[in-house]
Amino acid sequence: MARGNPKKTLEKKKLLEQGFRECYYCNEPVKPKALRCPHCGKWYSSGKQILAFSLVIIIALSLVSVYYLYPTGEQGAYVPSSEVPAVLSASPIGMSVSTSSKIVVTFNRDMDRDSVQSAFITSPNVPGVFSWNDRALTFTPTSLMNEGTIYTVTVGSTAIDTTGLHLDCDMYSWQFTTAGGSAITLRSIGTGENDFWSAAVTHPSWAINDVQTKPILILTHTQGCAPCETMMGICGEVSSVYSASITYYDLTSGTDEPQATDCFAAYDPVPPNYVPLTTILTKGPNNSIIWHSWEGVVDEATLTSWVDDAITYHEQ
């Protein structure tokens, strides 16, 4: 008979006592309002509870402690409960980043370092070396990054902490743009990672109607998700600045249905469907609809530049 892992069993018991529920499929601990199991990847249909629960509101209130840090003076990083591994801060962010910058990710728990390094991806690819200082991972490029380039950094779903728990919301991703090169005044319409897309999708009817008047910014998220909380703050700031020029939808998956489901079906149809999902739509040539969507965190400066471009396209 295989012997169980006492450390893992104790961790699971602790999480269950704090309000987590067992997944129907793999019996691993899952957050009460999760729509997807981070361990086996199974999705729960909207409105279905993982298990019959009691005292969830009381437990949730005792766990929630939300505040913001501003390590760079721009982007707020949500500080989640310490019961699940999550990213506390990530840098660099924004525009005009030095091509020699190091990439630093700080976690709230002790991480399995090999799993984090294996799950660490830059796009475009950047060669470099890893180093750790307690819970902070530093990636030092071994050559200069390209000038005037948008980089996406992702810590993927295989990253776990030292107890085997996966990242909150399974992954963490953000972007920054390096300094130099040709100034980007307007993003192209095409199929590239950093283009407005014109691919035919079944846009929600409410989005088709609203985009005729002005561009639309949509955030689809869940409650209690660290990257989601970060994007709620960023999108809230951007939408308040551009309140007269764009329409903003803040959609909580499982609550603001069917609009949230509409967004996943149109703009992130291929599983795994990570949250937060941020989408921007605007009018393109010949009254067409062009759009772009991201999984994970989009820093405030980058999102603002996309909104500026969306407004410019809409007014042409």
Crossing angle of the two packed helices 226-241 and 300-315, in degrees rounded to 10: 40
CA distance 238 to 219: 12
Are 181 and 147 a contacting pair, CB within 8 Å? Answer: yes
> Is the dihedral angle over the CA atoms 309, 267, 124, 139 positive or is it negative?
positive
Given a cut of 70, is residue 286 above it in pLDDT? yes
3-state SS class at 119: helix
Question: Which of 22-26, 96-100, 138-142 has the lowest average pLDDT?
Answer: 22-26
Q: Which domains does the chain have, with CATH numbers?
A: 14-63 (no CATH), 68-178 (2.60.40.3710), 189-315 (3.40.30.10)
- Higher-confidence position of 114 and 181: 114
Whether the Cβ atoms of residue 183 and residue 306 lie closer than 8 Å to each other: no
Look at the alpha carbons of 185, 188, 189, 191 in this order and tell me if their dihedral is positive or negative: negative
Between 286 and 273, whose confidence is greater? 286
% of the chain surpassing 70 pLDDT: 74
Judge whether residue 256 has pLDDT over 80: no
pLDDT at residue 119 greater than cutoff 60: yes
Name the percent of the chain lying above pLDDT 90.
45
The rounded distance, in Å, linking the Cα atoms of 15 and 32 is 11
pLDDT digits (tens, 9 = 90+) for 167-206: 887 788 888 889 887 655 578 999 988 899 998 899 999 9
Contact present, 217 and 247 (Cβ < 8 Å):
yes
pLDDT at 10: 64
- Give the model's confidence band at 128: pLDDT under 50 very low, under 70 low, under 90 confident, else very high: very high
What confidence tens digit (pLDDT) does each residue in 56-90 have?
A: 333 333 333 332 222 333 344 444 556 789 899 99
Do 150 and 175 meet the contact criterion of CB atoms below 8 Å apart?
yes
pLDDT tens-digit series, residues 216-228: 999 998 877 878 8
Specify the pLDDT at position 29.
Answer: 73
pLDDT of residue 235 exceeding 80, the answer is yes
